[in-house]
Chains A and B, each alone.
Chain A
């Protein structure tokens, strides 16, 4: 008798819900003349000195694999950078790993530490890959609601209520995508204290660490006792406008980096060589370029936030990343309805907050990493739309 035909795809994959936002993406892509505030990356091309360094490396023949961990020079520069920025000492040979963006970092970190059924606590709303990576690794994402009332900061007390004997880690990502929220040092210290007391690992996605406005970013690993129990994930995409190069890093204890390295060496081998060369240049002399871009984002941020509040979409002041996260509740529409109607009627693309979790319902994500002229026109169109909705 023939064996029952098995499912082609694994149960583990089938458990991951297909992205509901895909249909909306296709709709945007099919339309002409759309002003998009729905892009999660800088509108600047990579600074020329960084591109030029990469071009030169190609001419010199840097076209082969690098060390699995990443180029030694890049790890040394990174170690220096983390020391200068946060007074953190990471051994470039055992405590740093160059990854394919923070995306790979989140995947490696969750796979390296989770056993089936282990729980990871994270904020709702938060970046889309967090819960999926946890679930792909066999774990369970436990969401802690955050709200505009608390500036979308994750609270230590709320975390503590969710801790069970299955809890293994807390995954935080500040400055945050999609809310633009930053985490104050004080609040982070309280979370660190909980993690320390309960023996939990902190996975901290700090890809937007350089993009803060008028506040200082606190690195989770830099807090007392936290270096060894924090997996610090960072990268070059957002600060240096290097999204397409796909270079990130993980910093952590020898033990955890060795575990992440096991997966990385078999699945990725090494991050792209050309991108690593570019990242070295970025670390060596990219500070001025970053400062200039941050100053520019800040002008557009203030313009966008004021504009959103003016047209009747109340928006808390986002102090990091390049997103504003206004409430659309006065329009009576769901965030998906809002995004779709706005696109069809006024040709402005925004991301429904519900794409980032249940608590994102009633909000939209507007990226201000786009030209001032486009922001101005988008706000005009959105203002018309909101008025029609009776908001």
Chain B
């Protein structure tokens, strides 16, 4: 693994790991690690440091939906300008262009089902070039970004083993 990838891997797993600690774990000088992180932040390799929240547990339930969008690509700009019109809405948490039976997949999050439905019918579906949408409301989150929400495995090790 290259040096920066090793650093990124550690940060992706725990964004709060200090440069000192990363330096120890990789056997590199702290200054070198700090410099590499700064550079990655600057050139957009590191986009943002976030927290994965289990909102359900926090008593702050959200409604999410995955929406399939079929669009007519436009001359010269293809899917990109249409995609931009969609991802500019803060309601769109993620947006992907896919191969297959539809074109774009939008993850939409709102406080209520009504709010999400409102976004689809009043905004998304009316964008010029959008030919149709299929909305799938999310019923249960099992795993988010590599983290299992239902609680991980317990350690079942004996306290001491030779």
Residues of chain B contacted by A128 (CB below 8 angstroms)? 162
Within the assembled complex, what's the spacing in Å between the Cα atoms of A153 and B105? 59
- List the B residue with the shortest CB-CB distance to A29: B159
A111 smallest CB distance to B (angstroms): 21
Q: Which of A300, A349, A356 contacts B159 (CB 8 A)?
A: A349
Establish whether residues A302 and B160, one from each chain, have CB atoms under 8 Å apart when the complex forms: no
Interface size on B, residues (CB 8 A): 17
Q: Looking at B6, B9, B26, B157, which has the most chain A CB atoms within 10 Å of its CB?
A: B157
- Are the CB atoms of A43 and B155 closer together than 8 Å? yes
Give A346 Cβ to nearest chain B Cβ, in Å.
15
Cβ contacts under 8 Å, B6 to chain A = 295
Q: Which of A29, A45, A307 has the most CB of B within 10 A?
A: A45
Known pairs A303-B21, A372-B25 / 5 extra A-B pairs, C-beta < 8 Å: A21-B162, A24-B160, A36-B157, A299-B25, A355-B162
Residues in chain B within 8 A of chain A (CB atoms): 1, 6, 9-10, 21, 24-27, 153, 155, 157-162
A34 touches B159 (CB 8 A): yes
Contacts of A21 in B (CB 8 A): 162
Contact check, B25 vs A25: say whether CB atoms are below 8 A apart: no
A299-B10, A303-B21 known; A41-B26 Cβ under 8 A = no
Given contacts A43-B157, A295-B1, A299-B10, contact A351 B25 (CB under 8 A): no
How far apart sit A29 and B160, CA to CA, in the bound complex (Å)? 8
Cβ of A40 within 8 Å of any chain B Cβ, yes or no, is yes
The residue on A at minimum CB distance from B27 is A302
**A40 to B161 alpha-carbon distance, docked (Å):** 5
Complex CA–CA separation, A177 to B161 (angstroms): 11
Contacts of A40 in B (CB 8 A): 161-162
Residues of A within 8 A of B (CB): 21, 24-25, 28-29, 34, 36, 38-41, 43, 45, 127-128, 177, 295, 299-300, 302-303, 306-307, 349, 351, 355-356, 372
CA distance A38 to B160 in the complex (A): 5
How many angstroms from the CA of A122 to the CA of B66 in the assembled complex?
Answer: 63
Residues of A within 8 A of B26 (CB): 299, 302
A24 to B21, CA, bound (A): 33
CB distance from A288 to the nearest CB of B (A): 13
- Give CA–CA (A85, B31) in the complex, Å: 38
Chain B nearest CB, measured from A278 CB (Å): 17
A-B contact pairs, 21 of them (CB 8 A): A24-B160, A28-B159, A34-B159, A36-B160, A38-B159, A38-B160, A39-B160, A39-B161, A40-B161, A43-B155, A295-B1, A295-B6, A299-B10, A299-B26, A302-B25, A303-B21, A303-B25, A306-B24, A349-B160, A351-B162, A356-B162
Leading 10 A-B pairs by shortest Cβ distance: A299-B25, A38-B160, A40-B161, A28-B159, A36-B159, A25-B160, A303-B24, A128-B162, A28-B160, A39-B161
B161: chain A residues at CB < 8 Å are 38-41
Rounded to whole angstroms, the CA-CA distance of A128 and B9 in the bound complex is: 37
A351 to B26, CA, bound (A): 27
| Interchain CB contact under 8 A, A351 and B1 | no
